[in-house]
């Protein structure tokens, strides 16, 4: 039996009518009988094309304020019947059920209604019942029925029927069925997540995807699921890679700690800040951030919390960097930065980021709340006899923000709102501390009077002792070790101030 089917009848009932007219006109040209409801029926009539109201088939009007229009055996029988099944064919004749070869239906805009901040009653009314049922039924019966479930599919469908004179193949019908189940499952996920408050269930669905050049390495495939255009305006440069996106994510999350503050600039490499400074001008912030580690900055990701001007761009242009991110750029700055054809230039938009972190682990997923806690002055407990000065407190909180976004185990040194060095991703805190000291020394920084932040407590006093001998005068850490007192005792004996926050900031 041939798997090709010629469309002779269609049910069309859509919320979005943009782009529908050419399809309706082509179906009419092909002699297809069109059934419809409500606003879509009116739309088709206004095109001067004959349309059969669904009410004429079901002998029921649209009832309950439009909540029930197509939910009827004569509609679903026309969709779900198996054309090669003798019993189905007989019942179709017995009950005078019209064959429906094509279903064009979309869904009420539930997610957009939620995003608009509409009241719950309006949101509930955007939970589609008839549409979702029609999509599932016609997709299930793809062997005989063609399903178009979104306005994004209109152009492709129109090409199919135009090129093949209304005839469709089994492969085409199955492909569109898959698209339909993708839409229906995404829709149900959005509804569940809106209502769910108690069940510990992970449901996520991303319908927007981008194929990357490759993954972490060239032999790995890579994809991004999400809407980058909602986050950034890309002004220039090559396509973002998998590794670029990881660094951009780290950069955005770090700089979100400094929104609305004085001009701040960060340079990131492998998800960690290798340079960071806050100054009176964005140019000086960049210059001092770069000084933190000009070697690691090569090929890095740069991010600013203020507009990048011409002078800053001229300095940036001297460095090979992969990505530059800012809320805006002057015209002169853009002209300069575009001087490197592959350099990616992004304008960051104001966008809400996910409140959970998700990653694969073993044969499942690890899901956690995002670390949204930022240490503040009110969180500090002064545990040593020597108290930090006002300028040290400012540096301690500054260091804590950077430390929170640096891979564990980590130690961060700052002074005068500048990152002097950090030890990142080490297997011991002592190793992280020694790495930070070595880096600071190699780039000519004097650690005398600098402060130190640690993402977790000190199990022994060795860290504060090593830091003291390097010139550190004040320390911020979460505390919580059974041997905290040993570190406190060392600080008291050596005139070092130390504060505890009570909050650990591991980042694995």
Going from the C-alpha of 353 to that of each of 228, 370, 377, 429, the distances in angstroms are 12, 10, 25, 30
What is the rounded CA–CA span in Å between residue 245 and residue 175? Answer: 31
Instruction: Quote the CA–CA distance of 209 and 4 in Å, as a whole number.
Output: 31
Among candidates 125, 84, 132, 87, which has minimal Cα distance to 105?
A: 132
User: One of 143, 174, 270, 373 is an active-site residue; which one?
Assistant: 270
The verdict on whether 270 is a catalytic residue reads yes
pTM assigned to the model: 0.87
Catalytic residue from among 16, 140, 234, 236: 140
Q: What architecture is domain 222-348? A: 3-Layer(aba) Sandwich (3.40)
Q: How far apart are CA 454 and CA 16, in angstroms?
A: 54
Chain-centroid distance of CA 367 in Å reads: 15
- CATH assignment of 377-500, given 3.40.50.300, 3.40.1160.10, 3.30.470.20, 3.40.140.20? 3.40.140.20
Active site residue 85: no
Chain mean position to CA 72: 40
What does the DSSP assignment read for 96-133? TPPP--EEEE----HHHHHHTT--HHHHHHTS-SHHHH
* Cα within 13 Å of Cα(407), Cβ side: 15
Distances (CA, A) of 198 to 30, 104, 185, 192, 422: 52, 36, 21, 11, 41
Sheet holding 9-13, edge to edge: 52-53, 33-36, 9-13, 102-105, 146-148
> pLDDT 10s per residue in the chain (508 long)?
468 999 999 999 998 899 999 999 999 999 999 999 888 999 999 999 999 998 888 877 777 777 777 778 888 888 999 888 888 889 888 888 899 999 999 999 999 999 999 999 999 999 989 899 999 999 999 999 999 999 999 999 999 999 999 999 999 999 999 999 999 999 999 999 999 988 888 888 888 889 999 999 999 999 999 999 999 999 999 999 999 999 999 999 999 999 999 999 999 999 999 999 999 999 999 999 999 999 999 999 999 999 999 999 999 999 999 999 999 999 999 999 999 999 999 999 999 899 999 999 999 999 999 999 999 999 999 999 999 999 999 999 999 999 999 999 999 999 999 999 999 999 999 999 999 999 999 999 999 999 999 999 999 999 999 999 999 999 999 999 999 999 999 999 999 999 999 999 999 9
Q: What pLDDT is recorded for position 181?
A: 95
Nearest CA among 343, 277, 286, 342 for reference residue 309 = 286
Q: How far is CA 394 from the centre of its chain?
A: 32
Mention the CATH class of domain 4-195: alpha beta
Distance between CA atoms of 118 and 109, rounded to whole angstroms? 12
Compute the distance between CA of residue 132 and CA of residue 215 in angstroms, rounded to an integer. 36
The residue assigned the tokens 């926050």 is 501
Residues carrying CATH 3.40.140.20, the chain: 222-348, 377-500
Query: CB of 153 within 8 A of CB of 176?
Result: yes
Domain boundaries for CATH 3.40.50.1380 within the chain = 4-195
Pairs from 162-166 (Cβ < 8 Å, separation ≥ 24) = 162/26, 165/6, 165/30, 166/6, 166/7, 166/8, 166/27, 166/30, 166/32
- pLDDT attached to residue 2: 65
| Alpha-carbon distances of 379 from 374, 400, 477, 479, rounded to whole Å | 9, 12, 11, 12
Rounded to whole angstroms, how far apart are CA atoms 474 and 454? 12
pLDDT of residue 420: 98
Is residue 184 within 8 Å of 131, Cβ to Cβ?
no
What local confidence, expressed as pLDDT, does residue 1 receive? 47
CB neighbour list of residue 121: distance below 8 Å, 6 or more residues apart = none
Per-residue model confidence as pLDDT tens digits over 422-465: 999 999 999 999 999 999 999 999 999 999 999 999 999 999 99
């Amino acid at each position: 039996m041939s798997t090709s089917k010629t469309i002779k009848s269609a049910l069309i009932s859509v919320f979005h009518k943009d782009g529908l007219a050419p399809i309706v006109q082509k179906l009419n040209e092909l002699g297809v009988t069109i059934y419809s409801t409500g606003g879509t029926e009116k739309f088709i009539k206004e095109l001067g094309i004959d349309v059969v109201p669904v009410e004429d088939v079901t002998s029921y009007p649209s009832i309950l304020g439009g909540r029930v229009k197509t939910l009827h055996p004569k509609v679903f029988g026309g969709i779900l019947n198996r054309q090669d099944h003798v019993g189905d064919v007989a019942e179709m004749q017995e009950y005078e059920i019209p064959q429906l070869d094509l279903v064009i239906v979309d869904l009420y805009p539930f997610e957009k209604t939620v995003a608009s901040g509409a009241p719950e009653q309006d949101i509930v009314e955007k939970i589609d019942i008839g549409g979702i049922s029609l999509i599932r039924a016609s997709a299930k019966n793809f062997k005989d029925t063609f399903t178009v479930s979104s306005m994004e599919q209109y152009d492709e469908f129109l090409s199919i029927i135009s090129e093949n004179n209304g005839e469709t193949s089994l492969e085409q019908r199955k492909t569109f069925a898959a698209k339909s189940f993708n839409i229906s499952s995404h829709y149900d996920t959005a509804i569940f997540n809106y209502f769910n408050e108690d069940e510990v269930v992970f449901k996520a669905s991303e319908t927007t995807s981008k194929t990357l050049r490759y993954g972490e390495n060239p032999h790995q495939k890579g994809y991004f699921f999400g809407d980058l255009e909602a986050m950034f305006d890309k002004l220039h440069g090559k396509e973002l890679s998998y590794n670029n996106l990881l660094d951009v994510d780290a950069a955005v999350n770090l700089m979100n700690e400094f929104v609305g503050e004085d001009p701040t600039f960060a340079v990131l490499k492998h998800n960690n800040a290798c340079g960071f400074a806050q100054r009176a001008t964005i140019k000086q912030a960049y210059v001092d951030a770069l000084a933190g580690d000009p070697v690691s900055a090569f090929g890095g990701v740069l991010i600013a919390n203020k507009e990048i001007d011409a002078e800053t761009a001229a300095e940036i242009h001297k460095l090979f960097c992969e990505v530059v991110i800012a809320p805006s750029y002057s015209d002169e700055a853009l002209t300069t930065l575009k001087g490197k054809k592959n350099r990616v230039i992004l304008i960051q938009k104001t966008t809400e980021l996910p409140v959970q972190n998700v990653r694969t682990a073993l044969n499942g997923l690890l899901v956690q709340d995002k670390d949204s806690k930022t240490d503040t002055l009110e969180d500090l407990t002064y545990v040593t006899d020597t108290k930090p000065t006002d300028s040290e407190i400012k540096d301690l909180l500054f260091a804590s923000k950077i430390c929170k976004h640096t891979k564990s185990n980590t130690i961060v040194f700052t002074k005068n709102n500048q990152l002097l060095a950090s030890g990142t991703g080490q297997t011991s805190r002592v190793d992280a501390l020694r790495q930070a000291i070595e880096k600071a020394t190699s780039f000519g920084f004097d650690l005398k009077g600098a402060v130190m932040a640690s993402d977790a407590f000190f199990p022994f006093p060795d860290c504060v002792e090593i830091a003291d001998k390097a010139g550190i005068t004040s320390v911020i850490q979460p505390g919580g070790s059974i041997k905290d007192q040993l570190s406190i005792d060392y600080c008291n004996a050596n005139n070092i101030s130390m504060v505890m926050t009570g909050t650990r900031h591991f980042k694995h």
